[in-house]
Amino acid sequence: MATETSSHPIRIDAQFDSGNIEVLSIDGATARLTIPADHQSEFRQWFHFRVTGAAGRKLTLKIVDLGTSAYPEGWPGYRACVSEDRDFWGRADSTYDKDANGGTLTITYTPASGIAWFAYFAPYSMERHHDLVAEAAASEGVSYRHLGNTLDGQPIDCLELGEGENQVWLYARQHPGESMAEWWMEGALECLTDPADPVARKLRQLCTFHIVPNCNPDGSRRGHLRTNAAGTNLNREWHEPSPEKSPEVLAIRNAMDETGVDFAMDVHGDEAIAAVFLAGFEGIPSWSDALGEKYTRYQRILERRTPDFQTAKGYEVARPGTANLAMSTNQLAERFGACSMTLEMPFKDNDDLPDAAQGWSPERSKLLARDCLASLLEWLETPAA
């Protein structure tokens, strides 16, 4: 005979920083859920919620209507992230059936404790963001710069360090649901602010870094996948940003205009491609083979330095003259002659080097950041032949 503990309905809530889910029904330890769209937008893919009252019970969580999500190709082969302590994030057994209820992801998991947290990727909260900024700003040789405010009134934080002539901009989370991007930033800042790290010491001599760990605080706190508080995709605003729709991009681009940009990395996550890759600026009006070789040389260095990076999988390369200058990587290459690039990490796993326990993870994102910085150092010290 079932006890009251094992038969009562579980509880699901998402009213917290970056939370996002809608509960359609609950029956015991089974729930039917759907993902709300970003505010004033049709983008929907990010979920983050907690389940209570399920210790020792097998949960069956069905997220439905995913065929009309932003990236339905992101669900096959995907496993949901789960944590019981909000520190270690593993992966829960997950299956996707495109023909069930408009496309259904079924997550099964048996928590040992009374609370389990589920998310599209390991979240990076705004509180953790402020801890990151505070710790970095307190480090020797680091200065804090307030670039502006978001539509919700949150600050756009920038950290600056180094005394070299190469102006390097690192920025992340234009798309707030791509939380692996700020885990990467945490790894980058830990490296660059470590006085004992030889890569960091040399980079600080050669470069002046401008680091924006989170370009979209509003979308991050609201639990959006891709947009800010106005429903704007910031990475389509770099040609003509506005105070009304994209004050984040306007503030960052204005700061870039003041410093110039020699090297830039825009850090993202990709829903569908189970690999780490770069996207460049092919197709800009001012394309030159010399600038293109700078980009491909960086790719070659990074591929040699870490088995987590590859060049076989990625986005289709733009044809000559067809680059979208509203995207930051293209805009910066065209505007400054910068070697700019978009780094993409997977929401799934890295199929070339899979991890059954965690898939792609915060830990791997942080390690990749140091490899990217070490590659930058080699790139600077070994000019093209």
- How do the pLDDT tens digits run along the chain, 385 residues long? 344 356 799 999 999 999 999 999 999 999 999 999 999 999 999 999 999 999 999 999 999 999 999 999 999 999 999 999 999 999 999 999 999 999 999 999 999 999 999 999 999 999 999 999 999 999 999 999 999 999 999 999 999 999 999 999 999 999 999 999 999 999 999 999 999 999 999 999 999 999 999 999 999 999 999 999 999 999 999 999 999 999 999 999 999 999 999 999 999 999 999 999 999 999 999 999 999 999 999 999 999 999 999 999 999 999 999 999 999 999 999 999 999 999 999 999 999 999 999 999 999 999 999 999 999 999 999 877 6
Question: Mind giving me the DSSP string for 177-206?
Answer: T-THHHHHHHHHHHHHT-TT-HHHHHHHHH
**CB contact at 8 A, 179 and 122:** yes
Residue closest to 342 by CA, chosen among 362, 363, 328: 328
**CB contact at 8 A, 264 and 169:** yes
**CB contact at 8 A, 215 and 28:** no
Alpha-carbon distance of 196 to 249, in angstroms, equals 34
> Which of the residues 140, 271, 344, 378 is marked catalytic?
344
Tokens of 110: 């048996």
Active-site residue, 240 included: no
User: CATH 2.60.40.3120 region(s) of the chain?
Assistant: 11-119
**CB contact at 8 A, 285 and 202:** no
pLDDT of residue 156: 98
| CA-angle at 255, arms to 251 and 258, nearest 5° | 145
Name the CATH architecture for the domain at 11-119. Sandwich (2.60)
Superfamily grouping for domain 126-381 = Zn peptidases (3.40.630.10)
DSSP 125: -
β-pair partners for 342: 266, 279
Tokens of 97: 């059936």
pLDDT of residue 1: 33
User: CATH 3.40.630.10 region(s) of the chain?
Assistant: 126-381
pLDDT of residue 3: 40
| 254-272 b/e (C-beta count within 10 Å ≥ 16 → b) | ebbeeeebbbbbbbbbbbe
| CA-angle at 250, arms to 246 and 253, nearest 5° | 135
Alpha-carbon distance of 39 to 126, in angstroms, equals 18
